[in-house]
A and B are shown apart, each in its own frame.
Chain A
Amino acid sequence: MTDISQSGPVLAADGTPLKRSLSRALRMQKLRALMLIAPLLLFILVTFILPVADMLFRSVENRIVQDTLPQTVEALADWDPASGQLPEEAVFAAMAADLQIAAKAKTHTRVAKRLNYENPGVSSVFRKSGRKVGKWDLATDGPFREKLIEIDDGWGDVELWRTIKTYSGSFTSGYFLNAVDMQLGAEGPEVRPENERIYNTMLVRTMRMSLIITFSCILLGYPVAWILANLPARKANLLLILVLLPFWTSLLVRTSAWKILLQQQGVINDTLVWIGLVDDANRLVLINNELGTIIAMTHILLPFMILPMYSVMQTINPSYLRAAKSLGATDWTAFWRVYFPQTVPGIGAGSILVFILAVGYYITPALVGGTKGTFISNLIAYHISTSGNWGLGAALGAILLAVVLLLYWVYDKVVGIDNVKLG
């Protein structure tokens, strides 16, 4: 009796206040959950998140000019490119000194390559001078202004010095500007000349083709999802296998199948010729162009559209449609005003998923796209592995990633990542 009548907080069995004891238990529970998650989180951070962040950092990092030509960068600080005058003799002397050190360490070609991305032609000026400057005596061989211009009259070009000054900071927006077909001019960012613009076209093409693929998937997927949702379960499960099998089949198998089928001497053209629809002399060009990429990718991504639509349509009560019809709606009105609006979440989920997957595709466009049907990913791969312009590749990658993450965020809002279903 004394226990109950006592005033003050309720106590747990061990004498601590119940409230504190409960919150401690909750804290323990949270801690235990986090302990279970921690190893994986750490694993993903190290093997995945850090590498991606590291690559994205390359799109703005620009230490090479500063590191290789430190004296020149310092001497150039006072020079005003807008004056149209060449820099002072001191700058040329600093450049000669820097070049001598760089040529010995063989780093002058790297900085030349870096500057060449921004101002084509710089590379040869540096390479040519690097060899000769090594033999100069810095104390007595001045003035260097005339001597450098004598080696290559590129040194007499104000533009070259402007480029060095513009790209002497530790960070640059140059790669990003390049990725959207702009450059850092004398008065800030400016659009590149017409003949140097390729990346915008590529971004626009990637977006346009991904949209076309998404729409083809909606068009082809909608009837299939509808019939799967409205057939008796046994038949539907059987037909579902026809959707799941492509989903499980290796991407390369499906791409090679299309590569073989779409050839000019392939099965599709053979069949069309045999039926007589196409003349043997002008077989259709179905591959190595945009059409090839669209056909193959629609096929590859179609299951990702059908499955979310199917799971939404399964939940729609068929009596709504019957009710609409009994109230006098025609088949079309009943479908368009009653059934279709209920399927929009499924279409949305499928479309975002297909679009996200499509914009980042690399393998299929590389194999069936030729030159006209490649995506931005192919360009990124080119810059990373072939051209060596990693900063530009990283900048293009950052733009692509931004688009994808934006859509991912929308997808999370609309569908929720927890609701992603596989198979």
Chain B
Amino acid sequence: MTEEKVYTSHLGQIGDFLIKFFSYVIMTVFALLTIYPLIWLMINSLKPTPEFQISKLSFPASPTFANYTGAWKIGDFDKLIGNSLIYTIGTTIGVIFLSVLAGFAFAKIKRKATKPLYASFIIGLTLTTQSLMIPLFLEANLLHIYNTRFAVLLIYIGSGLPMGLYLCTEFIKSVPDSLVESSRIDGAGYFRIFLSIILPMTVPVITVLAILNITATWNEFALINILVSKTELKSLPLGINKFSGTLSSDYGKQFAALTVGMLPMLVFYLIFRKQITKGVAAGAVKG
């Protein structure tokens, strides 16, 4: 190896090191920008309100969980977390089940009605939640399902379907038609084809749908605010709203409530971060 080549290789190593170094610096800064508010929130949730008002950046002089017990009781969080789980799990299963089935039909069963039917679902992507609020409230009243979990699940699944259908249909379209056709020639029915061929191939899009629906439903506020009035049917975001007064004086409980609301999603991300990253990447490439 000549001296010049050694010098060039050395320069290359320094360059690689610098790129890595600055990449880590930038990533660390961004990570801190994300993590610091969460840590700040948790630290201040352990302070009595008067202590927080005097000193917003210090550690608590004598940490207390009184804010948590107070907020938990006032916010009825035991009920609301249960409801949030029911709505989130129910909606996610419902949207995935219906989207994959319908996506297969729209992608692989060609009929005259396929395109108009598909379009009628996809148009839902253009509708804003705000434009639906009053009609949905009226419909729920008309059907006597206002203030029921059924109404919440029905409307959550309905509002999740346009995106679910779109992703599934476009994903399943990428499965070669020849696979379906050869299976048909071999005598397999559509349901058999769906179970044996399509479903195993749609795991990436199912993961994407699950991530989208779990986070969206867990945090959803506007629709459930319109659909229920009874505390025993409300979800966690509605409970947390009770602690967000503009003229707030009890910041301790407010921070405790916000931490309670934030933790489940944080834990969800920490447990499933690999699947989330893989799923989003796979969905983005294959979809």
A binds B: no
